[in-house]
Amino acid sequence: MSGWRNTEGVLGMFNRIGGFFTEASYWIWRMMQLNWLWLSHILLGGVVLGVFPATAAMFAMTRKWLQGEPDQPLFRNYHRYYRQNFWKVNGLGWVYLVIGAFLVFDLHLASQISGVIALVSTIFLMVMLLIYLLSFFYLFSYYVHFNQTFRNYLTQPFLITLLSFKQNLLIAIGLTLAGYFIYQIPGLILFTLGVMPSYWVMKVSMNRFREMQAQSESIVGGTS
């Protein structure tokens, strides 16, 4: 009798291991597919017009996964989101790029002069650039999570960055690790270059969005 129970235990262990590898293989395949969709749709938009809507669509898909909807038709949903948001996301993305170019240009000017004012200006601009880079990632996660006006899509990511020190740190650490991992194994570029960072940023952002919504509801409830 004990031998039979031992056999059942061994079989159960192998079933669990098999189930784990099956699930892991499924997720690896889905992530590879999404990364290929991202790269192909960047090219579909001629790179210049493709990178922003392709990235937004990728964030939208990772959001669905994090909400417990991994079995949705990937290509159909991705391409539809890409097509429907093509011009709006391009508008947001290019406005953000202009802001970034303005900050970089100002930093360049500040670095050409000397003195205390120039030093203070350089430090200030470097801090602004760091906030800008983090808000750029929040732009995509915020865009796919909320239905807002064009103006709010421009301003809210900056405000969230200023109010989210812990999440900023988590995003920075995750992106650094992902970048180091891909740098060490360049062959992963075709499989994880976009999807790995987007999944991490979306996960951190969604947790932050829930916290902010809960805080907002408690404030409204306390004043009503």
The pLDDT tens digits for 47-103 are 999 999 999 999 999 999 999 877 778 999 999 999 999 999 999 999 999 999 999
Residues of the chain whose pLDDT is less than 70?
Answer: 1-24, 218-224
Tokens of 85: 């948001």
Domain count along the chain: 1
Residue 218 falls within a domain, yes or no? yes
Crossing angle of helices 51-66 and 86-111, rounded to 10°: 110
pLDDT at 212: 87
The SS3 of residue 3 is helix
Crossing angle of helices 74-84 and 86-111, rounded to 10°: 70
Residue 87 falls within a domain, yes or no? yes
Residue 197: Cβ within 10 Å count = 21
- Residue ranges making up the domain that contains 141: 35-223
pLDDT at 26: 73
Tokens of 33: 């597919």
Sequence-ordered list of residues with C-beta below 8 angstroms from that of 39, at least 6 positions apart, any chain? 54, 190, 193, 194
Residue 19 falls within a domain, yes or no? no
Residue 23 falls within a domain, yes or no? no
Residue 82 falls within a domain, yes or no? yes
Residue 192 falls within a domain, yes or no? yes
Residue 28 falls within a domain, yes or no? no
Residue 21 falls within a domain, yes or no? no
